[in-house]
Amino acid sequence: MFLPTTKEELKKLNIDQLDIILVSADAYIDSPFIGVAVVGRMLEAQGYKVGIIGQPDIESDDIMRLGEPKLYWGVSGGSIDSMVSNYTATKKFRNSDDYTPGGKNNKRPDRATLVYTNLIRRHFKNTVPIVLGGIEASLRRVSHYDYWTNKLRKPVLFDAKADYLIYGMGEMAIKEFSAALRDGQNPQDVRGVCYISKEPKSDYLQLPSHQECVDNKEKYIDLFDAFYDNNDPISAKGLCQPVDTRFLIQNPPCDYLDEQEMDNVASLPYERELHPYHRSEGKVKCLETIKFSIQTHHGCWGECNFCAIGVHQGRTIRTRSEDSILKEAKEFTQYKDFKGIISDVGGPTANMYGYECTKKLKKGTCDEIRCVDYEGLCKAMKVDHSRHLNLLKNIRQVPGVKKAFVASGIRYDVITEDKKHGYEYLKELVNHHISGQMKVAPEHTSDRVLKLMGKPGKQSLIDFKRLYDRLNKEAGKNQYLTYYLIAAHPGCEEKDMHELKNFTRNELKMNPEQAQVFTPTPSTYSSVMYYTELDPVTRKKIYVEKDIKRKEKQKDIVIDKQFIQRNKRPSGGSGMQG
């Protein structure tokens, strides 16, 4: 049974008033891969009456269809940041949306969290608290660079006029916050919560003010450094940032779920379908991949500078048990439309399942040392693919499962670092868990650009490809590698794209068919570089391409088969900031 989204469902359930109403920029898809559905199911299991409004019509009173909640409204921009979902890196509007019925991008407003908060306040005067959550709000909780307006924006709570913000995955925060409101207590002390205060919190780390960041780009780097370093539940401090005459208060992060709690969330009664309310408008494309996929863990310690997963999900791996995952695989076989194919067994990075740095588990994430960067893997991180390897073998033995793919991200450099199990693990993938191709993400091959990206050096890619090709040859398979590549990342000039093109042609023996132009999304170091035009470590000036046509040209260099012939003399950047 779905959580209610219509008045008719409330009547059938004999509910006069819901405790909590969740509003999302996605259609209501009841899946463990959809954040709002997970929150709704968690709250339901704790005894709350919860409803969901997916993609409310902002031109009518649709937001009123479930009435007013007793405790609070929860507002999310959806599974993908609404601005990233609506616009390409070159600011062109996207016509399709995988989370909208029928696939047409006509239901997700720009800056959805702001729009939905205003919509609620328009129709419900003096309503119960409005709480922001999800990736869109989480990544905008302090002053942040906004690519689409090309300026620093205030923390989203000041723009949205909401009451609270729960950041990160926030499972424990949601539980404790809801209990506080239910019991008539002040939720301002709940870990994982942000709010606006008239007074500073003196025992919290004091951040540069919003105005200081606007006036001085190095102050903005200082702010982001402190923000980035205080995301771990074990080691993080609370943060306090002056904004005009008030203060943004960010409590320390809530605790992560342990293995049993992860299993409990995964076992909640998801329908794994689009709610019937939306079905007349068509199917949602995302269900093709997430319906029969298994999420094995949360978190990623890869720390790519252009990625916000570490800030939102955390840099510590939280793993589900093998028994829980195998139980889910067995449950798939009971669905009439299950064809024996599990689309993905993984997480943000599939081969981080089942191990972590013991030092990090005791003391929290390190501020000065990364788990992995251009120089390679930290010696304290003992990579061990054995649990994921055994898990994949066991999934293959589940009656009714024909194939279980590992389609989510794989760190190839981590495989080559595992001297005990890396070879066997990759052999397992090649023989049983790849659908004709394996996707890896070198992103670039210029040493200078790779360092700014926080990515490993290109030798690890060369070593991995040799091993991958050898294993395919031994298995008699003709499976190939496809590569995620980025153009116009801060520090990248046209000469770097020519270097990348030459590398793909000479070393990888292929011509890339696609590459993406870098998008400066909130709460990443790469976006800090893009805005400040400074290396945040050295504070030295770097080249940043900001002209859209020249960004496209960088991409064309690497994907166009004829580009090198037409432009035989490689050129560098113009030397001018766009």
User: In this structure, what is the dihedral angle of CA atoms 305, 311, 312, 318, given to the nearest 10 degrees?
Assistant: 100
Q: What is the pTM of this model?
A: 0.93
Show contacts of 477-480: CB within 8 Å, 24+ apart.
Answer: 477/430, 477/431, 479/430, 479/434, 479/436, 479/437, 479/438, 480/436, 480/437, 480/438, 480/510
How many CB atoms within 10 Å of residue 437? 10
Which of the four pLDDT bands, split at 50, 70 and 90, describes residue 265? very high
**Which amino acids are annotated as binding site for [4Fe-4S] cluster, given as ranges?**
300, 304, 307
Q: Tell me the mean pLDDT in the region 402-418.
A: 94
Does 574 or 89 have the greater pLDDT score? 89
Confidence of residue 560 (pLDDT cuts 50, 70, 90): confident
Show the beta-strand stretches assigned E in 178-267.
193-197, 205-206, 239-243, 246-250
Question: 466-524 pLDDT, tens per residue?
Answer: 999 999 999 999 999 999 999 999 999 999 999 999 999 999 999 898 899 999 999 99
* Per-residue model confidence (pLDDT) at position 368: 85
Task: Work out the mean pLDDT of the chain and round it to a whole number.
Answer: 95
Q: Strand, helix or coil at 540?
A: coil
Tell me the C-alpha distance between 61 and 58, whole Å: 7
Residue 269 pLDDT exceeds 60: yes
| Mean pLDDT, residues 449-458 | 96
Structural domains for the chain = 7-188 (3.40.50.280), 292-435 (3.30.750.210), 437-578 (3.30.750.200)
pLDDT digits (tens, 9 = 90+) for 113-125: 999 999 999 999 9
Whole-number pLDDT of residue 570: 40
Asked whether residue 566 carries a pLDDT value surpassing 90, the answer given is no
Judged against a pLDDT cut of 70, whether residue 569 lies above it is answered with no
pLDDT value for 58:
97
Say what percent of the chain tops pLDDT 90: 94
Question: 364-395 burial by CB neighbour count: b if 16+ within 10 A, else e?
Answer: bbbeeebbbbbeebbeebebbbeebbebbeeb
- Residue numbers belonging to the annotated binding site: 300, 304, 307
pLDDT tens track for 45-92: 999 999 999 999 999 999 999 999 999 999 999 999 999 999 999 999
